[in-house]
Amino acid sequence: AQSVAQPEDQVNVAEGNPLTVKCTYSVSGNPYLFWYVQYPNRGLQFLLKYITGDNLVKGSYGFEAEFNKSQTSFHLKKPSALVSDSALYFCAVSPQGYSSASKIIFGSGTRLSIRP
Partner 1 sequence: EAQVTQNPRYLITVTGKKLTVTCSQNMNHEYMSWYRQDPGLGLRQIYYSMNVEVTDKGDVPEGYKVSRKEKRNFPLILESPSPNQTSLYFCASSSKTGSFYGYTFGSGTRLTVV
Considering the rule CB under 8 A, would residue 2 count as an interface residue with partner 1? no
User: For residue 36, what are the β-bridge partners?
Assistant: 46, 90
Binding mask 14-53 vs partner 1 (x if CB under 8 A, - otherwise)?
Answer: ------------------x-x-x----xxxxxx--x-x--
Q: Are 45 and 36 in contact (CB under 8 A)?
A: yes
Stretch of residues binding partner 1 (CB under 8 A), selected from 19-27, 62-70, 74-82, 105-113: 105-113
Say how many Å lie between the first and final Cα of the chain, rounded: 40
Region 50-89 residues binding partner 1, contact defined as CB under 8 A: 51
55/12 Cα distance (integer angstroms): 26
Supply the minimum distance, in Å, between the C-beta of residue 116 and partner 1. Answer: 26
